[in-house]
Structure 1
Amino acid sequence: MINVAILSFWHVHAKDYVLQAQQHPDLSIKAVWDEDPGRGRAKAEELGVPFYRELPVLLAEPGIDAVIVTAPTTMHREIMIAAA
């Protein structure tokens, strides 16, 4: 099983990526981070997973194997470097 974190729900296709992850037999969504804490908390609650306000804290979690980045495009570089 690959445990993934969703990094933001800003992008219009975020819900589609989440659905694809949920339908994949080898993926499990384990956490959410969002640059908008209100949106992030709400989505994390919908998914039944923890919300992380601080991205470095989420990325330090040993149980997270991969991320799905659906943050604003202007944040992609910074987030992808941090995740790597």
Structure 2
Amino acid sequence: MSDNENAKRGRPPRERHASNMIEQRPPGERRKSSAALDEARLRQQAIGVRLRQMFDQVVNEDVPDEFLDILRKADSRASEKG
């Protein structure tokens, strides 16, 4: 995620140090870890997509009538006391 995207989401920009910018591993090792990171990112992205789908389903569900009745009763009692 870029610093600009982080700023839009209210996150502070990531600090970068020169020591983190220089690859310290041999090229063969870098490819293995890079593939593992790519796989982990894809897995994380798939989980995020599924969580958003589940959240949207829950948000769009109808509120049961029994629950609405409970809320109405609570509101009427609060207005009687207030």
TM over 0.5: no
**Bigger proportion of residues as helix:** 2
**Greater gyration radius:** 2
Greater RCO (Cα-Cα under 8 Å, separation 6 or more): 1
**Bigger proportion of residues as strand:** 1
TM-score (normalised: structure 2): 0.21
